[in-house]
Amino acid sequence: MGTTTLSEAYRDHPLHLRHIIPLDFGSTPTVPESHVWPHSDGFSSADISGDLPVVDMRDPDAAELMGRACETWGAFQLMGHGIPMKLIEEVELEARRLFGLPAEQKLKALRSPGGATGYGVARITPFFTKYMWHEGFTIMGSPIDHARELWPHGYQQFCETMESYQKQMKLLADDVMRIMLKSLNISEQELSWLANKNLNQYHTTTAPCTALQLNSYPSCPDPNRAMGLAPHTDTFLLTVLHQTAHIDGLQISKEAGPTGSTWVPVRPANGALVVNVGDLFQILSNGRFTSVVHRVVVNQTRRQRFSVAYFYGPPADFAVSPLLSSGQQDQVVVPRYRSVTVKEYVGIKAKNLDKALSLIKI
């Protein structure tokens, strides 16, 4: 099979321009009807079982703690991750610089209808009748082409910062992935692309699919009527998220007994990154880990909020299927999902946002 990139996977499912161009939030004194969400969506939240678990990577019991968090919450806050706070602050500073540009300038880096990178609204936009109070910028590898459009004579700092952050995130995601596999008693040798620990030996066919997403949730004149990011699950194996300190917004859906589910706020812990399970890890774990439904509400402080999400998945041609733990080799374990390549699953989800996992269930 020939080399497949994530960009090619998205190119097969182009979007209409109306589902790409963000609102000019800076010149919008009121929330337009196109961005007003019905109150029935219930923006309220409640703490039901304490806060999201916090796991320190240096803890000898990190694997067990991560596994428990992924089974019960589908997410956890990660401490001891080794990413320098200075680098995280520089990434947020560059994101502020980007989203602070005039609207007409940002549109010079607009994501193309069949593109995967650049400036635009969330890819989940076409599945909803209302637009979200959000603008984003997607990076895969070097952002130099789009950065040159934004800053013809001052793009180097942005590019160097984003490339450095992606390299650090890649190493961290590899390590988190290995620990999470350990919690399932699954050998990393089962995943050829992960077993190769030498970054310099990656080939295009074996390199993981990754993307960096810069998010801006602008100040909103009427937060109770808008939605930052509608409920969804992430597609890949896992997402590593940095969010602005002291500004709430991210919420995850948690089962609350017979009454159904409720939204639990994920308050930024000092120095922590949020790790959440994606669809492909739910498949890989045969449903033991839950791909968590999450959303972003517009914060009541009317302050602009930023987040930086790193999406991590297998190579696009890799076939993802449930893996047996070392203790299950002699047991009869029924796979709950059929095998699916990353590219195929991206295509399924591009057409069926909230039904993709159910469509590959056995």
Catalytic positions are: 305
SS3 annotation, 196-252: CCCHHHCCCCCCCEEEEEEEEECCCCCHHHCEEEEEECCCCCEEEEEECCCCCCEEE
Structure tokens at 84: 């320098």
User: How many whole angstroms separate alpha carbon 361 and alpha carbon 242?
Assistant: 32
User: How many whole angstroms separate alpha carbon 44 and alpha carbon 41?
Assistant: 9
Angle made by CA atoms 276, 79, 268, in degrees to the nearest 5: 65
User: How many whole angstroms separate alpha carbon 27 and alpha carbon 123?
Assistant: 23
DSSP letter for each residue of 58-92: TSTTHHHHHHHHHHHTSEEEEES----HHHHHHHH
Structure tokens at 221: 């004149």
| CB proximity list for 180: less than 8 A, separation 6 or greater | 63, 66, 67, 70, 238, 281, 289
Residue from 90, 86, 120 nearest 106 by CA: 120
Structure tokens at 15: 């979007």
